[in-house]
Amino acid sequence: MKKRQWVVSIILTLLVLLVGTFLFQFFRAQKKSTVSDVTQQAPLRQVIVDSFISGEMSNPVSLDGRINAYEKIVLSAEVTGRLQSTGRVIKEGVRFGKGDVLFQVDMRDAELALFAQRSSLMNAITQMMPDLKFDFPDAFVKWRKYLDDFNVEETLRELPTVVDAKEKYYLASKTIYNQFYSIRAAEDRLSDYLIRAPFSGVVLNAETFPGSLVTPGANLATIMNTGRYELIAPINPSDLSAIRQGQTVRLWSSDKDASWQGRVSRISDQIDQVTQSIPVYISVSGRGLRDGIYVQGVLDGASMKDVVKLPSTAVVDQQYVFMLEDSVVRKRPIEVLKRVPEGAIVRGFTAGQVITEGTQGLFDGQLAEAIRIEQ
């Protein structure tokens, strides 16, 4: 009996397993797959592009700095004496013209000494006249004419021309040449008693006044030329190739109330060790200029050919751009010539669509789709 029950249990168990397996396969065959047999395509990367064409472009160079007087000098005395009044008050802020007498040192003693020297020369010529009449009769007439026109209070005239060697030696033995050139030197030195303005300008400060005793080397005043100024502008070495001597520069004050036109007068050969810039010197003149005022300006440098101005967001690693060619991203090398406020001026391609935004994560050969932002 027990054996029969055990056999029945095994048969029922096998039957249940077979029915369960059949039902599982049946329902599995009836279930539809949710997975599509079609391959799904990943969405294209969207990038912002703009079209650019290379060509010739102006090269403005921005600059700034402070205006300095081109000529600012200290007047010094070259002789000893007491200052006399010139009828002009020399104090800070007083303006003067070129050639005006600013200071005068008492020269009366120097003038009298010069008169005495001329009188000595006149006496020496007079004493040799009898010898000239007999030994050099041809020269006697011209020396008598020179002696007749001689005036100790007038500037010494040139000596008569000597063509005979014996006559020249005779004059030298009488110290005529020595006295003549000593007088010429004294006449030139007499002009040192009058200190004239070398240019038109203004007095910055006066250090002495009429009645003061001055000696050679004593400072009298500091003056400045108001007709010519100079701007020393630091220029980036990358802009130096666009600058030439004689180029025009437009300048204006910081508040833009006044403007001037200058010219590049000099370009330094040395680089400033602190700023790593090159000083460029610009000559400028005009009304309203003052020593020390701050100005800004722009210089129209030599034009650049086969270049493009790109936005800063388009330049990758300072030497590449991403271009979109037939929906494929291409990485192209470029040469950055100059940085400008709007971006960079580059050279390296002639024309094409440049990716201007969304360059992060792009790589060469990537598929992308161009989009444009409505202005």
Distance between CA atoms of residues 22 and 12, nearest Å: 15
Q: Does residue 124 lie in a domain region?
A: yes
For the chain, what is the mean pLDDT?
86
Q: Does residue 34 lie in a domain region?
A: no
Residues 113 and 187 in one domain: yes
Element holding 7 (H helix, E strand): helix 2-30
Element holding 118 (H helix, E strand): helix 108-135
Residues 178 and 215 in one domain: no
Residues 91 and 126 in one domain: no
Bridge partners, 323 (sequence order): 330, 354
Q: Does residue 60 lie in a domain region?
A: no
- Structural domain that includes position 220: 72-100+197-225
Residues with Cβ within 8 Å of residue 185, at least 6 apart in sequence: none
Residue 344: what pLDDT?
Answer: 85
Q: By the 8 A CB rule, do 262 and 284 touch?
A: yes
Residues 124 and 178 in one domain: yes
Residues 129 and 95 in one domain: no
Q: Is the pLDDT of residue 2 over 70?
A: no
Choosing from 191, 215, 242, the residue where a domain stops is 191
Q: Is the pLDDT of residue 373 over 60?
A: no
Residues 175 and 140 in one domain: yes
Q: Which whole-number Å values give the CA distances from 369 to 288, 328, 338, 349, in the listed order?
A: 58, 8, 30, 21
Distance between CA atoms of residues 74 and 317, nearest Å: 55
Distance between CA atoms of residues 232 and 187, nearest Å: 42
**Shortest CA distance to 316 belongs to which of 359, 354, 252, 358?**
359
| pLDDT per position as a tens digit, 149-158 | 999 999 999 9
Q: By the 8 A CB rule, do 264 and 299 touch?
A: yes
Q: Does residue 132 lie in a domain region?
A: yes
| pLDDT per position as a tens digit, 339-349 | 777 788 888 87
Residues 95 and 203 in one domain: yes
Residues 129 and 202 in one domain: no
Choosing from 225, 244, 267, the residue where a domain stops is 225
Residue 375: what pLDDT?
Answer: 42
Q: Does residue 255 lie in a domain region?
A: no
Distance between CA atoms of residues 49 and 372, nearest Å: 7
| pLDDT per position as a tens digit, 221-269 | 999 999 899 999 998 887 888 888 999 999 998 776 889 999 999 999 8
Q: Is the pLDDT of residue 313 over 70?
A: yes
Choosing from 149, 175, 191, the residue where a domain stops is 191
Q: Does residue 114 lie in a domain region?
A: yes
Q: Is the pLDDT of residue 34 over 60?
A: no
How large is the average pLDDT for residues 49-56? 86
| pLDDT per position as a tens digit, 168-188 | 999 999 999 999 999 999 999
Q: By the 8 A CB rule, do 75 and 219 touch?
A: yes
| pLDDT per position as a tens digit, 74-123 | 999 999 999 999 888 889 999 999 999 999 999 999 999 999 999 999 99
Task: Place 134 in a pLDDT band, splitting at 50, 70 and 90.
Answer: confident
CATH number at residue 85: 2.40.50.100
Residue 19: what pLDDT?
Answer: 66
Residues 152 and 209 in one domain: no
* pTM score, whole prediction: 0.63
Q: Does residue 176 lie in a domain region?
A: yes
Tally the domains of the chain.
2
Residue 364: what pLDDT?
Answer: 87
Given CA atoms 171, 172, 174, 179 in this order, what sign does their dihedral have?
positive
Distance between CA atoms of residues 135 and 125, nearest Å: 15
Q: Does residue 164 lie in a domain region?
A: yes
